[in-house]
Amino acid sequence: MFILEKWVRPRVLKMKPYSSARDEFSGEAQVFLDANENPFGAIPNDAPYNRYPHPLQPELKQRISEVLGFLPATIFLGNGSDEAIDLLMRIGCEPNQDEIMIMPPTYGMYAVSAEINSVAIREVPLLPDYQLNVPEILAQIQPNTKIIFLCSPNNPTGNRLHESDILQVLQGFDGVVVIDEAYIDFSTQASWAGKLPDFPNLVILRTFSKAWGMAALRLGMALASPALIQFFNKVKSPYNINVLTQAYALDALQHYAKLQERVAFIIQEREKLQASLLALPTVQAVYPTDANFILVKIQNAPQVYAYLLQKGIVVRNRSNVMLCQDCLRITVGTPEENSVLVKALQSYN
């Protein structure tokens, strides 16, 4: 059974969070002299960016709730999903004592954040079909295993993990299970967000970087029980989401229909690109994908990667990643970009 108070580090349980000026004030006011801000607008044109943003972004969370259906109390907003990954380790993992579990090949920041936080990493590789090895995962769980990271759809392979496998991990582990849904908008897989009330140990990662096209603005989400979200807010830096990012996201959320149109178009282009790649004699496999990218096994992948660079085309060489030998990860671009890529590969000797 998952008990949040036992999972959280004792020091985090006891610590007093930083109290910003905006935390201590609520309501309406006309004169703000509490936060040591510059009374004038930002240089050079006195733009209205001299005031700190609200530390908990209530307006943006309310808009997200209205559009996407997540309760505001279950939302943490971070500087990309990477902030949520880092905070989870700081909340639950004792440095030089606890460990996380990852399933390579998978998103690299889980391991990087663990290294930064002096948290050990236990690896249980995916099966050859890029699915979870559930018996081995459950067998490898140790008393100091605090977090299991599952990426679905997975990066770099693109496939979604079987729901029944994820369910077994959730039910068989009394620590936190993170399901990274960065690419869920491109998938037929249903989000696990609806399961939050059933699993207090579940954390879901979402991002505005992919389907929403806001990678440069750095806005990610963690969805979890309100009790766990309180610890995110306790540990995070006071003003982690800047006012420009909040304003842009608020506007973008008014155009959800446009998002759906764009996602449908990208999926259509993904299917065309898959067919074009399969027709190439050097391509050995195009793996199933529920993301906005395709993992392709190709003869002499490192050489093909270098050739494409010479043509001004950048893809990702994943040949040095476990279970991805001679594989390139190719993002689905515009029709014009995809055409340039395919023509370059057709000309490769």
Domain residue ranges of the chain, discontinuous segments joined by +: 4-24+54-255, 257-346
Peptide bond into 17 cis (omega under 30): no
The answer to whether the beta carbons of residues 68 and 191 sit under 8 Å apart is no
* Residue recorded with tokens 């959730």: 170
Q: Is the pTM of this model over 0.85?
A: yes
Q: What is the DSSP string of 33-82?
A: -SS---SS-BTTTTBS--SPPPTT-HHHHHHHHHHH---GGGEEEESSHH
Domain 257-346 coded CATH 3.90.1150.10: yes
**How many residues in total does the chain contain?**
349
Q: Measured between alpha carbons, how far is 92 from 146 in angstroms, rounded to an integer?
A: 7
pLDDT in tens, the chain (349 residues): 899 999 999 999 999 999 887 777 777 788 988 899 999 999 999 999 999 999 999 999 999 999 999 999 999 999 999 999 999 999 999 999 999 999 999 999 999 999 999 999 999 999 999 999 999 999 999 999 999 999 999 999 999 999 999 999 999 999 999 999 999 999 998 999 999 999 999 999 999 999 999 999 999 999 999 999 999 999 999 999 999 999 999 999 999 999 999 999 999 999 999 999 999 999 999 999 999 999 999 999 999 999 999 999 999 999 999 999 999 999 999 999 999 999 999 999 7
The dotted CATH code for 4-24+54-255 is 3.40.640.10
